[in-house]
Structure 1
Amino acid sequence: MFPHLLQRIISFGTDEKMEQAAVNRIRQINIFYMILVAMLCFSLFWASLTGISILVMESSISLLVILGAYFLFPPSRKPEQSSFLVLVICALLFLTNYLFDLKIDASVVIAFYLLFPLAAVTINGRYGIIVPVVLGVITLAFNSMPFVNEGIHLDLFNSLIFFSGYTMVIIISIFIERSNRELFIRLSSSKDQAESEIVEKDEFISRLSHKLRTSLSNITLINNLVHDDRLSSEQQDLMETLKASTNNLIEDVNNIVEIASPGIIDYKKSIISFDLTRILDEAEGILKSGISGSEEVNIERSDHITHYLIGDPGLLRSLMVNIVKGLSIYKHNQEPVELKIENLRESPSQVRLRFRFRVESELGPDLVTYIDELNRSRGHQSSNLSNAHNLLVESEGALTAKSDGQAAVLYFFQDFTKDPTRSVVEPAQEPQRDSFHKKGIALKNATVLLVEDNVINQKIVLLSLKNQVNQIDVAAHGKEALEMFGLKQYDLILMDIMMPVMDGIVATKKIREIESTSDQHIPIIAVTANALAGDRENCLAAGVDDYIAKPFSAEVLIKKMKKLLT
């Protein structure tokens, strides 16, 4: 009980969003204030018992001044002023007890004098040494002056020893502060270098995985194109060996993906008008179609939104998917994650919503600790919750965790602008969405747009689909795909992600922006070698309907295409 209370007092005014250096600084100042208050309280108590009225008065006034300084200049908001002010107050206390006889033992006063420079540089850095230096000069100047009720007045020999020692302590304090500052700079540099190396490693593995997967996908598709009835028995054995070797290599690449997954998603912001209900439905669909298992979420809404919202639907979709998946490891049963959406503040043009996720779990304290670690480490970890944290940080938001012992809770806030030109249609009145392709169309008769920058990849995909699709147009990058999309009506789009000029993520978002003004919805399948952690969620959050990672078989791609067209 007492250690917990002490920790709360020391950490008073700190926030989980603060940098660790700022938190340590506030704690140091709080400790200094706490020690000073404790000493003054003890002095007041002892003086009251012994009847030393002058000491009672000094302790009372000093205590009031200290408390007033703390609340007028709180360390959490004004650390520089607060730390400097408490040092000045301490210096005045020491000087008063040195010059006047307040019934405090001289050895105690001198001991505090000698410790003061070390304390000053601890809480106020190199500028903190100014106060002890000024205190030493003033004390030396007044040492030989006569005072009424004078206190400690050293003779020449003792004053020489005392002020020599005091000067030595100041020099040592300066040296310690400089050493600590240099150490902090080196540690910060090492940390930045380590983080940079991690990012470089992740980028290298991402590029390597992309190249390997692209080549393996081509080999796999070519294997499927070679018909066994054209081969001799010996050639069939060789093809089977080639297929087996390819599968082994695919497994090795997948192992690389499992070991090295970058934790930061490169998410591009897109502000458009959107229907919140539709975005929630899409996120639920993504969660139910997860390759690692279906995730259930129960949504309770009390927002009463009647207009379309202007904001980033991709961000909201990605946050919901990552948080629900991240909370799944904290569940102790198969109960779904509960999501409650609340309208906290609404004006004629703006609305603030709170998205509150809750799971029944006894691991709530662990979740709080993990989110706190993410805030301290700037989110450089690889997990769904880390992805959500990073996305919120980029959008100037925050992910907050709480625990009540029986449940783990995460929530965040999002501000949106109302779209006055578009109202949400009631379910009974809502027109049939996606009317363009909901009628169903055979794959053979569909008009497909393939967006792929690599000529070899284009050729292999076209060969794989030539007996399945009559009409396939090819775009070399996202910008060309947008131009073709504006000129021709397509039934389905196969979208590569990593391309020059305009990548697949940006192209998909722009297509969805165009569609937001109509009832059309063209199915888009992300066909990509980007298969590291977060890549699938990033693609789905951008608005693709399905995702297939290279290497893949033509049968799997055809199955996905048929599913979206019927």
Structure 2
Amino acid sequence: MEKINILIVDDRPENIIALEALLQRDDVNIISTTNPNEALRLSWEMDIAIALVDVQMPEMDGFELVEILKSNPRTKDILVIFVTAISKETKYAVKGLNTGAVDYLYKPLDPFVTSAKVDSFIQFIRNQREIKQKNIQLENYQKELIKAKEEAEQGKRAKENFLANMSHEIRTPINGIIGLSNLLETTSLTEDQKEMVKLLEISSTSLLGVINDILDLSKIEAGKFKINRSQTDIANVCNSVVNLLRIKAKEKKLELNTVLSPELPKYILADSLRLNQILMNLIGNAIKFTNDGSVTLKVEILNTKGNNIQVKFTVSDTGIGIAPQNLEKIFETFEQADEHTTAQFGGTGLGLSIVKNLAKLKGGQLEVSSEENKGSEFCFTNWYEVVKEVKEIEKPAKGILRPFNNIKILVAEDNPINKFLIVKILKDWNIETEVVENGKDAIDKLVDNDYNLILMDTFMPVMNGLEAIKLIREGYAPGKERVPVITFSAAVMESDKKVAIEAGANDVISKPFDLEILHEKITKYTATY
């Protein structure tokens, strides 16, 4: 235990000896002096906690000594107890307390009272110092927390920047591959060539799916993932997923069954896209890990409360199953049941992690039961509101994309494949096209030429698309501040789209883009400018 320093100041040595005898104990150091000036020096140099000061002394009385101590920041916190033989009148006590003393001891000293008072002040000092130490620790913890928070935020920003860049760098070439394969399909091909183009489409779509899975997880972790509920045909969602995956099941000679309860309503309020994603992952996973037998999707109503129903989606298979110790592990990001599973079946280990996060976001429950070499059963349960007043959903008719008349578009794109792809599409639509490779060239072209629309890639060398748009809106090309600009972006975060709109873009098209969406937006913006 740390010893407490007690200073005794008295001009009479015999009084000091008497006090030392009363205060002698193992947890204190007693320092004494008969000289007030010496007392000031000791207080300055040593960590004095308590000072017992005689009031009447030559040269400098106790009141004057305490005033000096209290006026100095280094000694102001010393607890002063006056020791006096003068009158106990109130005026003297008040004067001492006003000076800064905390108590009085009167001569002749009562040993019990003296010891008790000093004990209480020693305990007070210890408590004060403990609180001070705790406050210092708390401040240090606070600083560490602030530092950790800043590092976490910096790491989060770095991760988001990495994902945005990765999204752009990977999705851009995928956009080129998908676009070129679509163009190839419209040309004269042999049967072998058609088969190769089909395989090219499947491979690129599969790669795009992995990238989308990673980005979905990132958006969930960042809290930027939204659930959008709308009128949903529950049976149609289930049948569509099963039909999409039926080819994979047939390739493995598996039975793919659907069992839908006849009590299911026609429409519910649900996020059909995310429900589709959950079922695609669960059924796709079941097919992947099943070599013989069947995969079954069963949908039933567990409970009803008013206008709400609790629906249970069960995906069961006769596959390899999962060992009990690996049941929790399969839901972790980039994890599979074991190394043997990864080596034999491949995959990223993202599917079930996404399903778990989506189920949680939708307010549902995800459960799994499995037995090795016999199969697994995944159950997703959630409450849905039944839609009674059905709104007819208009489906846009897919027709021939009509050519345009007297339309001139400036394309700013640095990727050669995407540049070729966009120009080919626009020319097929009878659109006059000029192409530049960066934002600086785009705004310089705009100064000297008139365009009905600008298609601007977001990421480009020299000057990126967003910088170029800002300069256009600020009047870099006088009189053309309002020219419509649509950005092409391979980034899919909502924040990226928001930034583009804030920079002055009229709209954003994500890569890879849909030809009908591009045609629709060109029609919209060229008609209003």
Under a length normalisation based on structure 1, what TM-score does the superposition of the two structures give? 0.42
Q: Which has the higher helix share?
A: 1
Greater strand content = 2
How does the TM-score come out when normalised to structure 2?
0.44
Q: Which has the higher contact order (CA 8 A, sep 6+)?
A: 1
